[in-house]
Amino acid sequence: MNLQPTIPLETSATVAINTLALQKKARGERVFNLAAGEPVLPPHQALIAGADAALAAGKTLYTPAAGIPELRVAASTWMNRTYQTNFEPKNTLVTCGGKFGIFATLQAYLTPGDEVAIISPYWVSYPSIVQLFGGVPRIVETEEANGWKLHLEQLKDIAPSDKIKILILNNAANPTGAIYSYEEIKSILGWAQENNVLVISDEVYSGLVYDGKNYISCGSFPEHQDHVVVIQSCSKHFSMTGWRVGFVFALEEIIRVLTTLQSQSTTGTSSISQWAALAAFEHASEIIPYVREKMETRRNFLIKTLTKLFNYSFIPPASSLYVFVNMQQLGAQTKNSVQFCTELIEKHNIALVPGNAFGAEGYVRLSFGAAEAELEAALNALHQAISKLALNTVR
Ligand SMILES: Cc1ncc(COP(=O)(O)O)c(C=O)c1O
């Protein structure tokens, strides 16, 4: 029997590179991993205690499809306190990571042919998920010189298309680290309301914002709540990527539809993970600043080492876990990021993610999620490898 050929299934580039790196590691090879999309830290003691207690109490059966009530209360309370939103538990869905929240929201809203505005450079999964449901990605390019940020004028340009149903706004952004101000968000949401566009605000990096900068959630504009779905996650700011706990915050009727979708697909995320996530929220004021501080230190270390090795002033990203670098600044002569990264992993065991996967050719993404010693070894290896690359010719 044929697999359905009409579904555009593309493996996520970050997952593909990471898988190759893990396979090499399993074979006993030394791999330098600058591709990880996660803060590499041991689990906080509170998580272990929360999971242990759930196991010991036999909390191992199905949970309600929308998530355990205690976690819906804790997550919405945390959002409200941290970002001045106004969500109740009925506006909160617990999902298998933020990714499934995005998946389910797009599935619920899209009909074939609907356009979804995606800001480039974008998180690798947005276009593929949109296409899975017959949607058409409408890529809106941004530039490094403008801080990789969407400007209202660009949205005004696309308003005449009445097919744009959704805008995915990634604030704080992977791979660029861009964050949006109160005024910028207000104008984007105003445009969305005027044009009846739903904004899916992917806020999974909101806890990883550096240099004391303020973070504004799209959920904190009550006048726009009927046009906003907020995606959150425990993955990044609690360093819980493998536990698979995320959230959707939205109007009650949206949560009801997504709960039905979830009940007919994943049935919800693991019960143990949900109890561990509850423990994480109970210790949020301790865990999030701890993870943020660690990541800020690693970011500074990566920038300092990059600058020293490659003799170029790299600008520290305001948020997230990545430095998005023009390959020329690393001394590469080629602009083909896929070939560049393929050769680096295959021949030199160095994992980076090609800019092409984010819609920005000529760039690569370096993660600072790993510990300083690993970052230093990887950057030294990268520096040596670049001088040897066969691709190091002008193309
Ligand atoms: C921008 C962005 N959104 C969503 C996710 C999904 O994260 P998770 O499903 O682990 O919550 C990621 C993961 O890397 C991401 O980078």
Centre of ligand 1 to C-alpha 11, Å, is 15
Do 122 and 270 have their domain in common? yes
pTM for the complete prediction? 0.95
Do 231 and 302 have their domain in common? no
Centre of ligand 1 to C-alpha 369, Å, is 14
Query: Is residue 171 lining ligand 1, measured as CB closer than 6 Å?
Result: no
Q: Which residue puts its alpha carbon closest to atom 14 of ligand 1?
A: 37
Query: Of 267, 285, 303, which residue constitutes the final position of a domain?
Result: 285
User: Which burial class, exposed, middle or buried, applies to 4 when counting CB atoms under 10 A from its CB (0-12, 13-18, 19+)?
Assistant: exposed
CATH classification of the domain holding 317: 3.90.1150.10
Do 93 and 61 have their domain in common? yes
Query: Of 242, 265, 285, which residue constitutes the final position of a domain?
Result: 285
Centre of ligand 1 to C-alpha 38, Å, is 9
Number of domains in the chain: 2
Centre of ligand 1 to C-alpha 55, Å, is 27
Centre of ligand 1 to C-alpha 288, Å, is 17
Q: For residue 1, is it within any domain?
A: no
Do 275 and 307 have their domain in common? no
Query: Is residue 101 lining ligand 1, measured as CB closer than 6 Å?
Result: no
Query: Is residue 37 lining ligand 1, measured as CB closer than 6 Å?
Result: yes
Query: Of 285, 312, 331, which residue constitutes the final position of a domain?
Result: 285
Contact assessment for residue 251 and residue 226, using Cβ atoms and an 8 Å cutoff: yes
Do 80 and 197 have their domain in common? yes
Residues 360-387: what's their mean pLDDT? 96
Centre of ligand 1 to C-alpha 204, Å, is 6
Is 90 exceeded by the pLDDT of residue 92?
yes
| pLDDT, position 394 | 42
Q: What domain range is 374 assigned to?
A: 13-43+287-386
Q: Which of 95, 96, 129, 204 to mutate to test the pocket of ligand 1 (most atoms within 8 A of CB)?
A: 204
Q: For residue 7, is it within any domain?
A: no
Query: Is residue 235 lining ligand 1, measured as CB closer than 6 Å?
Result: yes
Q: For residue 3, is it within any domain?
A: no
Is 70 exceeded by the pLDDT of residue 395?
no
Contact assessment for residue 323 and residue 302, using Cβ atoms and an 8 Å cutoff: yes
| pLDDT, position 12 | 64
Q: Which of 18, 200, 233 to mutate to test the pocket of ligand 1 (most atoms within 8 A of CB)?
A: 233
| pLDDT, position 393 | 47
Q: Closest ligand 1 atom, CA of 14?
A: 14
Do 150 and 278 have their domain in common? yes
Give residue-wise pLDDT tens across range 17-40. 778 888 999 999 999 999 989 999
Do 65 and 30 have their domain in common? no
Q: If pLDDT is split at 50, 70 and 90, which confidence band does 391 have?
A: low
- Ranges assigned E (strand) in 1-149: 32-33, 92-95, 115-120, 136-141
Q: For residue 391, is it within any domain?
A: no
Centre of ligand 1 to C-alpha 207, Å, is 13
Q: For residue 393, is it within any domain?
A: no
Centre of ligand 1 to C-alpha 392, Å, is 33
C-alpha 229/C-alpha 264 separation (Å) is 21
CA atoms within 13 A on the CB side of 56: 7
| pLDDT, position 301 | 98
Strands 246-249, 228-233: pairing is: antiparallel
| pLDDT, position 77 | 98
